Homo-oligomer: A and B are copies of this chain.
Amino acid sequence: MQVAFALYERFTALDAVGPYEVFNVIPGWEPVFIAERAGPVRTDFGHLALTADKALEEVPAPDILVVPGGVGSRDPGHAALVEWIRAAHETSTWTTSVCTGSLLLGAAGVLDGLRATSHWLYHDRLRELGAEPAPERVVRDGKVMTAAGVSAGIDMALELVALEAGPEVAQAAQLVIEYDPQPPFDAGSPTKAPQPIVELVTRMARQAGEL
């Protein structure tokens, strides 16, 4: 099972690394990191680079494609990546995204008429791209699976492994990565965080030109 992580400048590292760490421990599953050009690809604020080991055209037909989100997902100029997504989706077993990676799936026409999710700040954008925004943390519509913001990719990956390899394998993966989450606050969604925190984050995103 070949799992391709499609990177681009200014992506969010955890969007890719969360699912990667789950898939990485499944026997026979082969993660591969790709981008328009092979080489290091910088994350959103430039403090980290992950290596794309291959160019997009070297991995034309992965079994699973994972498209991370990030500041860069809203940049123009993703023609090659969007075209790759469109073509890879035709033969994929699963087409997935994390966070605003769903905006790139949308740009590729993959989400037309489908229920899907994205980072909570970008549900309207998803609708503009032809999808029906859904409130769940992980949304499955046919072979397309989309996850909410950043950390939601871990939950998505476990669901996908359960469907593809069985619940025992998914549980073993969860135990290997000791995923027994105990956040010190219950502020991880706009319906749970205190309203002033939601307003603060929304205002900061707007000021940064992200909305």
**Chain A residues in contact with chain B, CB under 8 A?**
12-14, 17-18, 20-21, 24, 30-33, 40, 43-45, 47-51, 53, 99, 119-120, 137-138, 148-152, 154-155, 158-159, 162, 167-168, 170-172, 174-190, 192-194, 196-198, 200-201, 204
Min distance, Cβ A159 to any Cβ of chain B, angstroms: 5
Inter-chain contact A193/B177, CB cutoff 8 Å: no
Inter-chain contact B178/A149, CB cutoff 8 Å: yes
Q: Given A47-B24, A48-B51, are A120 and B178 neighbors across the interface (CB < 8 Å)? A: yes
CA distance A180 to B119 in the complex (A): 12
Majority SS at the chain A contact face = mixed
Inter-chain contact B150/A174, CB cutoff 8 Å: no
Inter-chain contact A201/B176, CB cutoff 8 Å: yes
Chain B residues within an 8 Å CB radius of A154 = 151, 181, 183
- How many copies of this protein are present in the complex? 2
CA distance A175 to B185 in the complex (A): 10
Chain B residues within an 8 Å CB radius of A187 = 170-172, 174-175
CA distance A120 to B181 in the complex (A): 14
Inter-chain contact A189/B177, CB cutoff 8 Å: no
Min distance, Cβ A42 to any Cβ of chain B, angstroms: 9
